Structure 1
């Protein structure tokens, strides 16, 4: 009987809060430091919390569909991208089949694959098409990828989508960080599932707004796995207000980009930096987990990249300029003191 149940697995590692109280500077969360977007906060506060929402969220779907030039029947709403990825695994990844990921996948998707007893294979951008073989039913790309920052060109995405369609697979394009960059919009394609989590760009990750754009057939399978009223009224209101939130992005995202460039330049004095226009970057420091622990002792949290297969790198997301200065000075103290091993 237990063989038929999902295995009991540890939680995927993430940046941000843990069970331990932390009141310092948190560089482990990749979100807009100038948020939250006031227009979305207004929508959240004005939401009707006294009544059940429409269980189908027709108005929210219609607004997002019109904004994207999409079919409302192809919009799936969610509390966080993690839920969408778990539903995609449950709906589209049978036991024994394979999830193919370009670079290491987001931890929640890897965990979702393990829960349905499927395999995960990691590949590189140049080899991914040749790896779409029988048994591969989901292909995942971060666009851009976290933490490497790699993004695909429009032609690369189309080639991937065509290869997936020919193989009977779906291409998941995770656009969590696309608003921060010039990453091209994925093609409207029957094999493509676009996963969008705008809370990061709008500095409102606690509201957990997320949605997917896909074919109506895939959307129906995802909706089938969601209970009625799966979206709180506040999160639904935030999603409905997204088309009105663009001025905040236009004002703040250039500042985020500038802060990330300045931080990358400052940290490059300590070691090789990998940065591709995202709000986050990686820094090679040797024993990253040890350096991260030393920073945490001094009230500064960063993310080590061991879970991504990069144990020598820290992932750092830009904050406000004066806060970035604290990170640079603290890291200088640690590395000059030899605490990186």
Structure 2
């Protein structure tokens, strides 16, 4: 992907919001009622605390880490751009960023925007930053090589683990825990799990022992004066509360049932699902070209995510959706 090219995302496009949108990974049981109520009650007439003091305390307590390890961000994508810029400054614009073989396009886009090289999947010469995602995107699987990558990580090279989909894991176990997890940066963007993707807000947890690291200080220097607005603060505060976590836990069995139905539907349509542990999955389309089919479905009010921008051509990604949307997908796919 060209660094100057417009990023590709799921969700509403120039035609607006699709009535049946499978293209995003938002929790289909959402929006989370207590989180939505918190966002609606937020006061947009005042600036939030620019240091997010109370919010960082809440997030730190939620994860059982020191407040100094918490970095708030305007969104997951904003943090991706910011940490890449910080690494590029430290390396004087030289080096390579390692990204998964199939991955969210913003990792590579941010690297190229800073003049850094990109290596997909394999160890990188001159590696200055490494990305992982668990469950991965677009596949939704648990990366089998992630633990080995952490063990072999060169000294001084940060690995950022994107955990956007960790709350929506429906099977399997995380690739990292304990000491390995403590060695990496963790990036959390809970709006997907809460079904509130229109509210932007994220945070990162620095590795244990990095509370005074040059990279952490660089991230603070590069941050905007107010990384979060009032609504983002309210959403992240709600995320740390038992009411939202209880709602999320109750949504997972529902999503498992809907996923089983949706997998069966895709097989009936002749689409081959790939293995996934999350509330989304990819399918291999029979003609190897997703474009014409996805355009026809979009015209019928059903939106899927073309995986070409992830580097996975001839595939589409589907977030799990309720039975009514699945019925609309089946009807549209069988159309003229």
Q: TM-score surpassing 0.5?
A: yes
Deviation, structure 1 residue 23:
4.2
Following the alignment from structure 1 to structure 2, what is the Cα–Cα distance between the partners of residues 234 and 312?
Answer: 38
1:152 aligns with 2:149: no
Name the residue aligned to 1:162.
151
- Secondary structure of 1:311's counterpart equals coil
Name the residue aligned to 1:261.
260
2:186 to 179, 190, 194: 194
Name the residue aligned to 1:174.
162
1:325 to 310, 313, 327: 327
Describe the superposition over 1:17-65 as per-residue Cα deviations: whole angstroms up to 9, x where unpaired: 1233344321101111111111111221222323222211111001100
Following the alignment from structure 1 to structure 2, what is the Cα–Cα distance between the partners of residues 198 and 316?
Answer: 19
Contact 1:152-1:183 within 8 A present in 2 as well:
no
**Structure 1 segment 224-235 matched on structure 2, within 5 A:** 224-235=221-232
Deviation, structure 1 residue 157:
4.1
Deviation, structure 1 residue 162:
3.2
Contact 1:197-1:210 within 8 A present in 2 as well:
yes
1:311 to 310, 313, 323: 313
Name the residue aligned to 1:139.
130
For residues 45 and 297 of structure 1, do their structure 2 counterparts lie closer, same or farther at Cα, with a shift above 3 Å needed? closer
Contact 1:260-1:277 within 8 A present in 2 as well:
no
Following the alignment from structure 1 to structure 2, what is the Cα–Cα distance between the partners of residues 143 and 233?
Answer: 29
1:237 aligns with 2:234: yes
For residues 221 and 296 of structure 1, do their structure 2 counterparts lie closer, same or farther at Cα, with a shift above 3 Å needed? same
Deviation, structure 1 residue 160:
2.3
1:68 aligns with 2:48: no
**Structure 1 segment 194-233 matched on structure 2, within 5 A:** 194-214=186-206, 215-216=210-211, 217=213, 218-233=215-230
- Secondary structure of 1:63's counterpart equals helix
Deviation, structure 1 residue 106:
1.3
Runs of 4+ in 1 over 3 A off after TM superposition: 156-159, 185-191
Following the alignment from structure 2 to structure 1, what is the Cα–Cα distance between the partners of residues 247 and 146?
Answer: 29
Structure 1 stretches lacking a partner, 5+ long: 1-6
Following the alignment from structure 1 to structure 2, what is the Cα–Cα distance between the partners of residues 278 and 246?
Answer: 17
Q: Which has the higher contact order (CA 8 A, sep 6+)?
A: 2
Which one is further off, 40-49 or 312-321? 40-49
Which one is further off, 182-191 or 247-256? 182-191
Name the residue aligned to 1:276.
276
For residues 50 and 271 of structure 1, do their structure 2 counterparts lie closer, same or farther at Cα, with a shift above 3 Å needed? closer
Name the residue aligned to 2:303.
301
- Secondary structure of 1:96's counterpart equals coil
Contact 1:194-1:213 within 8 A present in 2 as well:
yes
Deviation, structure 1 residue 308:
1.9
| Residue correspondences, number | 318
- Secondary structure of 1:310's counterpart equals coil
Q: TM-score normalised to the size of structure 1? A: 0.87
